[in-house]
A and B are shown apart, each in its own frame.
Chain A
Amino acid sequence: MENEAGALSRVAGLFSARGYNIESLTVAPTEDASMSRMTLVTRGSEEIIEQITKQLNKLIDVIKLQDLTEGTHIEREMLLIKVRAMNSGREEVMRLTDIFRGSIIDVTEQSFTIEITGASEKLDAFIEALDKELIIETVRSGVTGIARGEKSLQV
């Protein structure tokens, strides 16, 4: 969409005004700074998704819209998680991080901060695998996605 002030609120406003539900939303400028790319995850029957698609296309700031689930595609989300890590517990957290191909990006005597990227389910699984008591804080980026193969979203 156009990288305009207010473009994001038009999308958010549309969803709240029409009672659609936003599961996650990510947005950032593209290589062309006049445009930004938004990935929005929503859920609904075929009719609802059709309406959402049409309504979004109607927004003047939306340049092009693609339903990634219509083809094969890749979804990624990033998780930053801060966990308590002391004494023997440190080993355990490191091992788990390895298994999930995460990396420890900040270390104190008491804690690790870990970064993991992957499909949302993988992030869920990592959080599941950790002892709840150890989790200090989590932050997730929301999903971004791209179509597989040569197909691309071009203006």
Chain B
Amino acid sequence: MDDDQTNRSLAQTSLWVLRIALLVRALGVGASYLWHPMERESDIYGTMYFEWGWPESTSLAIENAGMWLVVIGAIVIVLANRNKRDLTPFRLAIVIVLANRNKRDLTPFRLVAILMLAFIVFWEIAMASGLAYRGGKFMSQWALGSHGLRIAVPAALLLHTLGFGAKAILRVLYVGAITTFLVHGAQAWFGSPVFITMIIATLQSYFDCTIDQSQVEQILKFIGAMDFCVVAAILLLARSRSGVLRKLMLGTLLWMAFWGLVTAVGRTTGASLGAYPETLLRIVHLGGPLVLYVEWVRHQSTGSSVAQPNPEVQHHLPCEQPKLT
């Protein structure tokens, strides 16, 4: 993360990875909390109803409204992005409804996108905080950490839409990835019962392999240690300039993306196909590290001397960038 990244925008590939990760997670949110036959309520509802004593109907209404906003927001972000060539009927509808020609710098798209993304970030933080506050799951007191990437992905898109450069955005993604791996690593190290069940079930169902629980516990220790190593590698290698170390960083980021995908898929393979929302919810564990990987590759290939200002950002937001370092 060099200084030139401050003004440089994320690559279009990265932005699309973030948008798609956001959309897939939102579909997971929709399935889990709205339309799956086994849809349930999150800890936002739980906090309002059980902890604060609000009426159940009010708590449910707020919960469902929030979940719908997350889904709709993600669809808006993906469909109504700011590339004018991608004019969709949906985007057109928003233009008709919200167009305000007097404020060129704050187009309806951006305004909607900013509001939607800000809400999604808030909602993600609220879901994680609710879980941390209410407890009832293994190491759930660290939910803000384990949900790091769920928060960081929409936050990254929000920062981009607000005109922040790559440096700030990547910093948020790095923090999200680190806390996610750290807490999941700790859960693995301390033998999360959910992880044990997931591994045993996946091996049984897909590999016809019956494995002893004590072996799984050993594997989990190894997985936990791997997660800690990944975090350590990122912290140590993020500023490295040597070619070998940079390649190691590249490998680490690729591993994070791969591992994020494997563990997300494991949620379904470790249960049943009906549990697909569990995988969708965790697709940001693939998306976030993938963006870090793409940007690292890009950074290496462009070198530190090439600064690429974000033309869209400058066009839409002429205000000064905040100093981030």
Partners in one complex: no
Interface residues of B, Cβ cutoff 8 Å to A: none
